Protein backbone atom coordinates (compact mmCIF):
# COMPACT_ATOMS: atom_id res chain seq x y z
CA UNK A 1 0.00 0.00 0.00
CA UNK A 2 1.25 3.46 -0.92
CA UNK A 3 -0.15 6.33 1.14
CA UNK A 4 1.56 9.24 -0.56
CA UNK A 5 -0.56 9.35 -3.72
CA UNK A 6 -3.09 11.66 -2.10
CA UNK A 7 -5.39 13.80 -4.20
CA UNK A 8 -5.03 17.40 -3.04
CA UNK A 9 -8.11 19.44 -2.19
CA UNK A 10 -9.27 22.38 -4.27
CA UNK A 11 -7.24 25.57 -3.77
CA UNK A 12 -4.53 23.72 -1.82
CA UNK A 13 -1.73 24.55 -4.25
CA UNK A 14 -2.72 28.22 -4.45
CA UNK A 15 -2.87 28.51 -0.64
CA UNK A 16 0.53 26.81 -0.42
CA UNK A 17 2.01 29.36 -2.82
CA UNK A 18 0.49 32.24 -0.80
CA UNK A 19 1.81 30.63 2.41
CA UNK A 20 5.31 30.34 1.02
CA UNK A 21 5.18 33.99 -0.02
CA UNK A 22 4.76 35.04 3.64
CA UNK A 23 7.08 32.25 4.88
CA UNK A 24 4.33 30.46 6.80
CA UNK A 25 6.14 27.39 8.06
CA UNK A 26 3.67 25.49 10.24
CA UNK A 27 1.32 23.60 7.89
CA UNK A 28 -0.15 20.22 8.78
CA UNK A 29 1.09 17.56 6.40
CA UNK A 30 -0.79 15.85 3.60
CA UNK A 31 -1.52 12.68 5.53
CA UNK A 32 -3.10 14.60 8.41
CA UNK A 33 -5.07 16.62 5.88
CA UNK A 34 -6.30 13.50 4.16
CA UNK A 35 -7.39 11.98 7.48
CA UNK A 36 -9.22 15.21 8.39
CA UNK A 37 -11.06 15.16 5.07
CA UNK A 38 -12.20 11.60 5.79
CA UNK A 39 -13.18 12.31 9.40
CA UNK A 40 -15.34 15.36 8.70
CA UNK A 41 -17.14 13.36 6.03
CA UNK A 42 -18.40 10.96 8.74
CA UNK A 43 -20.73 13.65 10.12
CA UNK A 44 -23.44 14.74 7.74
CA UNK A 45 -24.74 17.65 9.83
CA UNK A 46 -21.59 18.15 11.81
CA UNK A 47 -20.26 21.05 13.80
CA UNK A 48 -16.51 21.35 13.43
CA UNK A 49 -13.92 23.49 15.19
CA UNK A 50 -10.40 24.18 14.02
CA UNK A 51 -8.01 25.77 16.51
CA UNK A 52 -5.21 27.34 14.46
CA UNK A 53 -6.39 28.29 10.96
CA UNK A 54 -2.91 29.25 9.84
CA UNK A 55 -3.26 30.12 6.16
CA UNK A 56 -6.01 27.55 5.58
CA UNK A 57 -4.06 24.48 4.46
CA UNK A 58 -5.67 22.02 6.89
CA UNK A 59 -8.93 23.88 6.40
CA UNK A 60 -8.83 23.10 2.66
CA UNK A 61 -9.09 19.38 3.47
CA UNK A 62 -11.85 19.87 6.02
CA UNK A 63 -13.94 22.05 3.71
CA UNK A 64 -13.63 19.48 0.93
CA UNK A 65 -14.81 16.66 3.22
CA UNK A 66 -17.68 18.61 4.74
CA UNK A 67 -21.26 18.19 3.64
CA UNK A 68 -23.18 21.37 2.88
CA UNK A 69 -25.28 20.88 6.03
CA UNK A 70 -22.22 20.93 8.27
CA UNK A 71 -20.66 24.01 9.85
CA UNK A 72 -17.11 24.89 10.68
CA UNK A 73 -15.53 27.58 12.87
CA UNK A 74 -11.81 28.22 12.42
CA UNK A 75 -9.83 30.35 14.90
CA UNK A 76 -6.45 32.03 14.72
CA UNK A 77 -5.04 35.12 16.42
CA UNK A 78 -2.85 36.08 13.43
CA UNK A 79 -4.82 38.06 10.85
CA UNK A 80 -1.93 37.91 8.38
CA UNK A 81 -2.28 34.12 8.19
CA UNK A 82 -6.03 33.87 8.47
CA UNK A 83 -6.66 36.48 5.78
CA UNK A 84 -5.19 34.08 3.23
CA UNK A 85 -7.68 31.38 4.27
CA UNK A 86 -10.54 33.88 4.16
CA UNK A 87 -9.75 34.64 0.54
CA UNK A 88 -10.31 31.01 -0.47
CA UNK A 89 -13.19 29.92 1.79
CA UNK A 90 -16.21 32.16 1.54
CA UNK A 91 -18.81 29.43 1.98
CA UNK A 92 -21.63 30.46 4.34
CA UNK A 93 -21.06 27.38 6.52
CA UNK A 94 -17.40 28.29 7.21
CA UNK A 95 -16.75 31.10 9.71
CA UNK A 96 -13.55 32.65 10.91
CA UNK A 97 -12.71 34.10 14.29
CA UNK A 98 -9.56 36.17 14.69
CA UNK A 99 -8.81 36.21 18.39
CA UNK A 100 -6.95 34.39 21.11
CA UNK A 101 -8.31 30.84 21.07
CA UNK A 102 -7.83 30.40 24.81
CA UNK A 103 -10.18 33.32 25.55
CA UNK A 104 -12.61 32.14 22.91
CA UNK A 105 -12.75 28.61 24.36
CA UNK A 106 -13.29 29.93 27.89
CA UNK A 107 -16.14 32.22 26.75
CA UNK A 108 -17.86 29.84 24.32
CA UNK A 109 -21.32 28.84 25.55
CA UNK A 110 -23.10 27.67 22.41
CA UNK A 111 -23.61 24.24 20.81
CA UNK A 112 -20.87 21.63 21.23
CA UNK A 113 -18.81 20.20 18.38
CA UNK A 114 -18.61 16.85 16.59
CA UNK A 115 -14.96 17.26 15.68
CA UNK A 116 -12.17 19.47 16.98
CA UNK A 117 -8.84 19.72 15.20
CA UNK A 118 -6.59 21.36 17.79
CA UNK A 119 -3.56 22.77 15.98
CA UNK A 120 -2.63 25.73 18.19
CA UNK A 121 -1.28 26.04 21.73
CA UNK A 122 -4.78 26.53 23.21
CA UNK A 123 -6.84 23.37 23.06
CA UNK A 124 -3.72 21.27 23.40
CA UNK A 125 -1.22 22.61 25.90
CA UNK A 126 -3.58 25.01 27.68
CA UNK A 127 -7.35 24.80 28.28
CA UNK A 128 -7.33 21.12 27.34
CA UNK A 129 -10.15 20.24 29.73
CA UNK A 130 -12.29 23.12 28.56
CA UNK A 131 -11.68 22.13 24.93
CA UNK A 132 -12.63 18.49 25.48
CA UNK A 133 -15.74 19.75 27.28
CA UNK A 134 -16.77 21.36 23.99
CA UNK A 135 -17.01 17.92 22.32
CA UNK A 136 -20.29 16.08 21.92
CA UNK A 137 -20.44 12.46 23.02
CA UNK A 138 -19.10 10.47 20.05
CA UNK A 139 -17.22 13.56 18.93
CA UNK A 140 -13.69 13.39 17.56
CA UNK A 141 -10.61 15.27 18.78
CA UNK A 142 -7.49 15.14 16.61
CA UNK A 143 -4.01 16.50 17.28
CA UNK A 144 -0.84 16.25 15.22
CA UNK A 145 2.88 16.98 15.75
CA UNK A 146 3.17 14.46 18.59
CA UNK A 147 6.40 13.00 17.15
CA UNK A 148 9.57 15.17 17.26
CA UNK A 149 9.45 17.84 14.53
CA UNK A 150 12.30 20.02 13.18
CA UNK A 151 10.34 23.19 14.09
CA UNK A 152 9.74 22.25 17.75
CA UNK A 153 10.98 24.89 20.19
CA UNK A 154 13.61 23.82 22.69
CA UNK A 155 12.33 21.46 25.40
CA UNK A 156 8.95 21.08 23.68
CA UNK A 157 9.25 17.32 24.12
CA UNK A 158 8.36 17.85 27.82
CA UNK A 159 5.10 19.63 26.86
CA UNK A 160 4.20 16.77 24.55
CA UNK A 161 5.01 14.18 27.20
CA UNK A 162 2.77 15.93 29.76
CA UNK A 163 -0.05 16.32 27.22
CA UNK A 164 0.04 12.62 26.30
CA UNK A 165 0.12 11.65 29.98
CA UNK A 166 -2.89 13.92 30.72
CA UNK A 167 -4.83 12.40 27.85
CA UNK A 168 -3.96 8.84 28.82
CA UNK A 169 -5.22 9.41 32.36
CA UNK A 170 -8.66 10.54 31.24
CA UNK A 171 -11.58 8.17 31.65
CA UNK A 172 -14.03 10.08 29.45
CA UNK A 173 -12.34 9.37 26.10
CA UNK A 174 -11.13 6.55 23.85
CA UNK A 175 -7.65 7.27 22.56
CA UNK A 176 -5.43 5.91 19.80
CA UNK A 177 -1.85 7.03 19.26
CA UNK A 178 -0.82 6.86 15.61
CA UNK A 179 2.90 6.95 14.76
CA UNK A 180 2.21 8.09 11.21
CA UNK A 181 2.29 11.52 9.59
CA UNK A 182 3.72 13.88 12.26
CA UNK A 183 2.42 11.69 15.09
CA UNK A 184 -1.32 11.86 15.64
CA UNK A 185 -3.61 11.26 18.57
CA UNK A 186 -7.17 10.42 17.63
CA UNK A 187 -9.72 10.61 20.41
CA UNK A 188 -13.43 10.03 20.66
CA UNK A 189 -15.49 11.31 23.57
CA UNK A 190 -17.46 8.65 25.45
C1 LIG B 1 0.43 24.93 13.46
S2 LIG B 1 -0.25 26.42 12.93
C3 LIG B 1 -1.79 25.97 12.22
C4 LIG B 1 -1.59 25.39 10.88
C5 LIG B 1 -2.84 25.07 10.13
N6 LIG B 1 -3.73 24.22 10.86
C7 LIG B 1 -2.43 24.41 8.80
O8 LIG B 1 -2.44 23.19 8.70
O9 LIG B 1 -2.02 25.12 7.90
C10 LIG B 1 -0.73 27.12 14.45
C11 LIG B 1 -1.54 28.38 14.33
O12 LIG B 1 -2.01 28.73 15.63
C13 LIG B 1 -2.05 30.13 15.73
N14 LIG B 1 -2.04 30.46 17.15
C15 LIG B 1 -1.00 30.41 18.02
N16 LIG B 1 -1.39 30.79 19.24
C17 LIG B 1 -2.71 31.08 19.14
C18 LIG B 1 -3.69 31.54 20.06
N19 LIG B 1 -3.38 31.75 21.34
N20 LIG B 1 -4.95 31.73 19.62
C21 LIG B 1 -5.27 31.51 18.33
N22 LIG B 1 -4.39 31.08 17.41
C23 LIG B 1 -3.13 30.87 17.81
C24 LIG B 1 -0.83 30.60 14.94
O25 LIG B 1 -1.02 31.93 14.47
C26 LIG B 1 -0.77 29.58 13.81
O27 LIG B 1 -1.39 30.06 12.65
Convert 55-94 into a string of H (helix), E (strand) and C (coil): CCHHHHHHHHHCCCCCEEEEEECCHHHHHHHHHHCCCCCE
For the segment 119-176, what is each residue's pLDDT rounded down to a tens digit?
999 999 999 999 999 999 999 999 999 999 999 999 999 999 999 999 999 999 999 9
pTM above 0.95, yes or no: yes
pLDDT in tens, 109-128: 999 999 999 999 999 999 99
Q: Residue 4: what pLDDT?
A: 85
Q: For the chain, what are the domain ranges? A: 28-189
User: CATH assignment of 28-189?
Assistant: 3.40.50.150
Summarised one tens digit per residue, pLDDT across range 7-66 is 999 999 999 999 999 999 899 999 999 999 999 999 999 999 999 999 999 999 999 999
Q: Nearest C-alpha to atom 13 of ligand 1 is from which residue? A: 52
Q: Hey, is 188 helix, strand or coil?
A: strand
Ligand 1 pocket residue status of 81, Cβ below 6 Å: yes
Task: Find the 118 Cα to ligand 1 centroid distance in Å.
Answer: 9
The finding on whether 29 has its CB within 6 A of some atom of ligand 1 is no
65 in contact with ligand 1, CB cutoff 6 A: no
CA 164 to chain CA centroid, Å, is: 17
Amino acid sequence: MIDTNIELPKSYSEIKTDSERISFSMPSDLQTGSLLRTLVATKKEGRFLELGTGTGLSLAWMVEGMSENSNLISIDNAAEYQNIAKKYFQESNVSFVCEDAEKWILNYKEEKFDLIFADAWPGKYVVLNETLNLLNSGGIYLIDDMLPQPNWPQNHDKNVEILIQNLEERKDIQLTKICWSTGLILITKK
